[in-house]
Structure 1
Amino acid sequence: MAHYRSLGTIPPKRHTQFRYDGDTLAFEELMGEEGFSADSSLLYHRHIPSAITDSTVWELPDTATVPNHPMKPRHLRLHELFKDDAWQDTDVVTGRRLVLGNGDVRISYAVSGRASPLYRNGVGDECVYVESGAARVETVFGVLNARAGDYVVIPRATTHRWIPQGDEPLRTYCMEANSHIAPPKRYLSRYGQLLEHAPYCERDLHGPTELVEGTGTDVEVLVKHRGAGGEIVGTRFLQAHHPFDVIGWDGCLYPYTFNIEDFEPITGRVHQPPPVHQVFEGDNFVICNFVPRKVDYHPLAVPVPYYHSNVDSDEVMFYVGGDYEARKGSGIGQGSVSLHPGGHSHGPQPGAYERSIGAEFFDELAVMVDTFRPLEIGEGGRACDDGAYAWSWAGRRA
């Protein structure tokens, strides 16, 4: 995200001596993408950031997936995954349950009530959507305050932790990439500024507001990284000093939040295709959101989507608010996920096509992920599959 920010105290020129507290030399760290060829930031630490005193295995939660075969569309009820008060002893990181995934992106869900361990993802960027609740996200770059409706975008290898705030469960929908996550290229100038036709701008992106200082030695940090054969594995590092020891930083790479309420919908006289709803992209997948909006105003418009075959992609829709018109009669509600696999023609439920004629406004809120490789089903997805959604277009629920 080529939008420059700085926080704390930094020297006037990069890669030069920086002394603080009189004459103490700070340790400069470059965090950058694509080697030294893309966005980066420089962080100034009190201690050597590479210093570790131990390394042991972190056994990850169940990351196995099974193919969606025989192929069928599915309805997953995510709110069934964390029942009763189990969420009170769960955190955003270790409590994730894998719903869907492939070699490009993994989608997990967690309901949390306690602070997470210190953690960094060494595989790819994370985009975490806050369905409800609030959190203080402490990072090596500083503090993010996350609220319902926020996307929290965390660059690869950013050490951070989630601390739920308030009494309400923190519900999070996590999209973990094997790549970087950024605004769509078509919204950006050749130098990285968001253009006038983009549905949001830099004013809507909120970076860290204050540095956070941690103390202690032999501090545990959970690291997710690539293993042999490309599988994802975990390691527990003991850092010689707490990683939250940054005096200041500057650059164009850092975590930030973007709230779904700040997305300005693009509408037209006839139904607009899903790319107008796009908010982010990674390698081989995109993230879109459907927000409350005025709908098609041609006198003969049919406001709900036309039936379409996802020949090149799987479509995953997470329903987070409002009343999703096209899915009425399917059993889908808030907290549901629909999976429409490539090769299956899908669209509105029976009756929705006709009922939408004459509508002027849709009050719906949903987060969509489209992938360009088939998605497989994780442990969490298998546990909350309703088993009947595939037959709903034929008027059957069993």
Structure 2
Amino acid sequence: MSGFGSEFKSEDPRCPQSLPRGQNSPQKCPYGLYAEQLSGTAFTAPRLENKRSWFYRIRPSVGHDPFKPFINSNVTCDWNEQEPDPNQMRWMPFDLPTSNNKTDFVEGLNTICGSGEVKGKNGVAIHIYVCNVSMNNRAFYNADGDFLIVPEKGTLKITTEFGKLHVKPNEIAVIQQGMRFSVDIDEPSRGYILEVFGRHFCLPELGPIGANGLANPRDFLTPVAWYEDNDVQYEIVGKYQGKLFICQQGHSPFDVVAWFGNYVPYKYDLTNFMVINSVSFDHCDPSIFTVLTCQSDIKGTAIADFVIFPPRWSVQERTFRPPYYHRNCMAEFMGLIYGKYEAKAEGFKAGGATLHSTMTPHGPDAQCFEQAFNEELKPKKVAEETMAFMFETCLELAVTEWGAKTCQKLDLEYYKCWKNIKKCFTGPIQ
């Protein structure tokens, strides 16, 4: 099933006609199922913005024991753990768990930075996940917001209440607020997560671009209904107010036989992104590469943008073509899925990251500038065999203790990549 923002419906073919006809919550559902609604917006949100889906499931999700704290977690929303640090930051690739340290997706969640107020549903968090085993009889949900998941290493086999999603590197998945899911893997896996509190991602407006371009709605894929009827002990882990909690229940949470609605998990293949790029002179702003956005209350300003820098043709005259040097009122967190980013010659590696904070200057390193300054300007394919991305936010990001110290991956010599930029000034005209 494909599309974005539309009304969907699906039923497991093992139980044909399991979707009730004409009534959301009938007195008696087909096959003796229970009706349950999952709401992603207020009941009274305008029709065009209202998000909800109906489940028809074997048991309602309410049947579980009390929640207790989930210990030994590196997930947080405490943005005061560390003193503020405006320096350019770069992390080398984050370590995968060792073979004698069995770590699943939930156990391998680590918050690296964030901002805002989770209780007030206004903010973002950026996490790194590393895992080497599947989630066994364990499910996870996020009561705080949406997860935009970017795999860098290893395919994620995500089972959701709506069905299954297989998400490989160079694809993304969005699991929206409250949706329960489990992650299976075949190999040690690593990736990035952008979380927005209490709001949802959407496609950016196209404006003068017109009807076509960037990410097209038809390329977003949603699951097909799939259920399991297992009476086994299951752990449910929930993220609530920035902390993890766990409870037990005596059956699988993935027992939804049929569903319909417009509040769904989805995936997207980044190779489907239609690049819009300059064919004359000057350098387009990186906003032209926005895949998904989550807007703030300030018009045209994002709580979070997900931006990619895919392979593309660059056809420009009289132009310095790599990203220009700049200072930004937004904060920019970048990651690399594969390849070699065009504005950094060395050091920025797949599975690592950079953070350029509000108004902290950044841009091409010395080697990249020298090459671009002297190269012949002609049509050129840039970022070949590369996919870099950026999480951008209007909020000022604070790095956690895990990001600054515990992970031990912060490159303290990152600033040196700009130290050898030469003075080219020729002086006034005589």
Check whether TM > 0.5.
Answer: yes
Q: CA deviation at 1:237?
A: 2.2
* RMSD of aligned alpha carbons: 2.3
Amino acid at match of 2:338: G
Shift of 1:246: 1.1
Pick aligned residue for 1:71 from 65, 79, 86: 86
Deviation at residue 132 of structure 1 after TM alignment: 2.0
Task: Indicate the residue corresponding to 2:389 in structure 1.
Answer: 367
Counterpart of 2:307? 288
Counterpart-to-counterpart distance in 2, 1:245 and 1:236: 19
Report the equivalent of 1:229. none
- SS for the counterpart of 2:202 is coil
State the secondary structure of the residue aligned to 2:65.
strand
Q: State how far apart, in whole Å, the 2-side matches of 1:70 and 1:208 are.
A: 42
3-state DSSP of counterpart to 1:143: strand
Alignment of 1:222-261 (within 5 A): 222-226=237-241, 232-239=242-249, 241-261=251-271
- Structure number with the higher strand fraction is 1
Given that 1:218 and 1:238 are in contact with CA atoms closer than 8 Å, whether structure 2 keeps it comes out as yes
Partner of 1:169: 188
Structure 1 contact 181–280 (Cα < 8 Å) conserved = no
1:322 positional shift: 2.1
Q: Is 1:385 equivalent to 2:410 in the alignment?
A: yes
Match of 2:398 in 1: 376
After TM superposition, the score normalised by the length of structure 2 is 0.81
Tell me, yes or no, if the aligned pair for 2:227 and 2:257 is still in contact at 8 Å.
Answer: no
* Shift in Å, 1:100: 1.8
For residue 62 of structure 2, give the secondary structure of its aligned residue in structure 1.
coil
**Residues 52-107 of structure 1: per-residue CA shift (max 9 Å, x gap):** 2333222361335544634210111133x326536x71111221122222222222
Aligned 8 A contact 2:220 2:266 in 1: yes
Residues 164-218 of structure 1: CA deviation (Å, up to 9, x unaligned): 03xx322221222213332334149xxxxx9723412233111113413141255
Structure 2 matches for 1:176-195, cutoff 5 A? 176-187=195-206
Query: Are the structure 2 counterparts of residues 323 and 55 from structure 1 closer, same or farther at C-alpha, using a change threshold of 3 Å?
Result: closer
Aligned-partner Cα distance in 1 for 2:286–2:326: 11
Q: CA 1:85/1:240 → structure 2, altered by over 3 Å: closer, same or farther?
A: closer
Task: Please name the residue that 1:309 is paired with.
Answer: 327
Instruction: Give 2:224's aligned amino acid.
Output: T
1:61 aligns with 2:77: no
1: CA distance between counterparts of 2:111 and 2:417? Answer: 25
Distance 2:277 2:128 in 1: 31
Given that 1:29 and 1:43 are in contact with CA atoms closer than 8 Å, whether structure 2 keeps it comes out as yes
Code of the aligned partner of 2:323: P
1:7 matches 2:10: yes
- CA drift of 1:48 comes to 2.5
Structure 1 Cα separation of the partners of residues 83 and 368 of structure 2: 27
Q: Which amino acid aligns with 1:106?
A: A
Distance 2:92 2:367 in 1: 23
> 1:186 aligns to what SS in structure 2?
coil
- Distance in 1, matches of 2:398 and 2:181, equals 28
Cα 1:272–1:60 change in 2 (3 A) is farther
The aligned counterpart of 2:145 is 124
Give the equivalent residue in structure 1 for 2:119. Answer: none
User: What amino acid is aligned across from residue 323 of structure 1 in structure 2?
Assistant: K
Q: Does the alignment pair 1:220 with 2:239? A: no
Conservation of the 8 A alpha-carbon contact between 1:132 and 1:149: no
Give the match for residue 57 of structure 2.
45
Displacement after TM superposition at 1:371 (Å): 1.6
Contact 1:92-1:172 at 8 Å conserved across structures = no
CA distance, structure 1, for counterparts of residue 263 and residue 23 of structure 2: 16
Distance 1:302 1:82, change over 3 A: same
What SS does the aligned partner of 1:52 have? coil
* 2:106 alignment partner in structure 1: 93
1:202 aligned residue (217, 227, 235): 217
The number of equivalent residue pairs is: 376
Structure 2 equivalent of residue 353 of structure 1: 369
Q: Alpha-carbon deviation of 1:379?
A: 3.7
1:174 maps to amino acid: I
Give the secondary structure class of the aligned counterpart of 2:359. coil
Q: TM-score, normalised by structure 1?
A: 0.87
Residue identity (%): 22
**CA distance in 1 between partners of 2:29 and 2:360 (Å):** 62
Shift of 1:126: 0.4
- One-letter identity of the residue aligned with 2:394: F
CA distance in 2, matches of 1:279, 1:182: 10
Taking the aligned partners of 2:229 and 2:389, their CA distance within structure 1 comes to 34
Q: Distance in 2 between matches of 1:30 and 1:187?
A: 33
Measure, in 1, the Cα distance between the counterparts of 2:402 and 2:221: 31
Q: Alpha-carbon deviation of 1:49?
A: 2.4
1: CA distance between counterparts of 2:270 and 2:400?
A: 27
Q: Distance in 2 between matches of 1:147 and 1:262?
A: 14
1:113 aligns to 2:132 (yes or no): yes
For structure 2, list consecutive stretches of 5 or more residues without a partner in the other structure.
12-17, 117-122, 297-302, 422-430
Distance 1:234 1:112, change over 3 A: closer
| Separation in structure 2 between the aligned mates of residue 90 and residue 318 of structure 1, nearest angstrom | 22
Corresponding position of 1:30: 37
